[in-house]
Structures are given as structure tokens and as C-alpha cells.
Structure 1
Amino acid sequence: MVYLEEWPVFWSTVQRMYFNKPNKTRYSVKYRSKDGKITLKVTDDQECLQFMLHPNQDLEKLKTINAWFLANMSTLSTEKSAV
């Protein structure tokens, strides 16, 4: 598992991973109230990326990735959506 510290790097890598293997890529969101942090995890069973969010500052990033995955995973066509 690789923790990426820069959002643009994480975001571009996640998009590349999804477009290369859309049927294998999945993501999860984990909140630890003890630390007050959110962890995003994206994997395709060969590569695993993680990114730590701070809810007070990065809530918009969580909304962005959730909306992007929902839009891409729910479409029947193979068009690639760029949110």
C-alpha cells in the first residue's frame, strides 16, 4: 500500500487505474474518529493507493471522488467521464 501525500498525484493515478481496469478497480472510505481523519483507499488488486483527508479542510475532495466514481461506475457505456 502506498500513501500518497499530494492530491493531484493521487487523483490522476486513481483515474488512470480506473480507466485501465474499470471492472477491477474499487475504493473505500474509512473514518477514524480517534484521529479525526478519513482514509481513501483505491485498489485494482495489483496496486493499492491510499490518501489521508482532514475532514475540516478536505471534505470537497471526498465529495469529488465519490461523485466521480458514482458517475463512472453507474454508466453502461464505456465513455470516460472527467469531473
Structure 2
Amino acid sequence: MVYVTSWDEFVERTVQLFRASPESTRYCMKYRHCDGKLVLKVTDNKECLKFKTDQAQEAKKMEKLNNIFFTLMARGPDVDMSEITGKEHIEAQPAKKGRGRKQ
């Protein structure tokens, strides 16, 4: 098992792993509340890639990885990555004005 330290490298290698053998690739995530650690694991029975983090920002990136895998599984492994990541960009909503005190 290989722990990948960089998030971008982990995503790139897992997508390559899925495209090489989409029939046998599995994706698993574990969260241990007592340790506050999230472990993501992608394997195809020949190669196993893991990513471990305790940062909340990294846990939010996991949702993007889920979307990538869902798209690859639904559309097939030949989908262009720019199609997947381009649809995830949502326009920022303007900040709401709160009730401030008038002075």
C-alpha cells in the first residue's frame, strides 16, 4: 500500500488507475471520529493507493473526487477531465447584507 502525500497527485493517479481497469477498481473511505482522520483508498487488486488526512479542507475535496468517480463510472473511462472539472465551478453568490445598526 502506498500513501500519497499530495492531494493532486492522489487524484491523478487514482483516475489513471480507474481508466486502466474500470471493471475491478474499488474506492473506499474511512473516517475515524476519535482520531479525526479520513483515509481514502483506491485499489484494483494489483495496486493500492491511499491518502490520509486530518484537515477539514482536505475532507471537502473528497466530494470533488466522488463527483469525478461518479462521472467516470456513469459516462465511461474515456471522458475528458476538463468536462468533469468544468461543471463543478459554480458562480459565487453575492454576499448577503446583514442587519447592521445604523449610526
Same fold (TM over 0.5): yes
Question: Are 2:19 and 1:19 aligned?
Answer: yes
Distance in 2, Cα, partners of 1:9 & 1:78: 18
Segments ≥4 residues shifted beyond 6 Å? none
**Structure 2 SS opposite 1:59:** helix
Give, in angstroms, the shift of residue 81 of structure 1: 4.2
Distance in 2, Cα, partners of 1:43 & 1:78: 16
2:31 is matched with 31
Distance in 1, Cα, partners of 2:9 & 2:3: 11
Distance in 2, Cα, partners of 1:70 & 1:64: 10
2:97 is matched with none
| Matched residues, number | 82
What RMSD, in angstroms, separates the aligned Cα atoms of the two structures?
Answer: 1.5
Give, in angstroms, the shift of residue 60 of structure 1: 2.6
Give, in angstroms, the shift of residue 53 of structure 1: 2.7
**Structure 1 SS opposite 2:68:** helix
1:80 is matched with 79
Select between 40-49 and 2-11 the one with higher mean Cα deviation: 2-11
2:40 is matched with 40
2:6 is matched with 6
Decide whether the 8 Å contact of 1:71 with 1:81 is kept in 2. no
TM-score (normalised: structure 2): 0.71
TM-score (normalised: structure 1): 0.86
Decide whether the 8 Å contact of 2:38 with 2:59 is kept in 1. no
Structure number having the greater strand percentage: 1
Counting aligned pairs with the same residue, the percent is 35
Distance in 1, Cα, partners of 2:77 & 2:16: 14
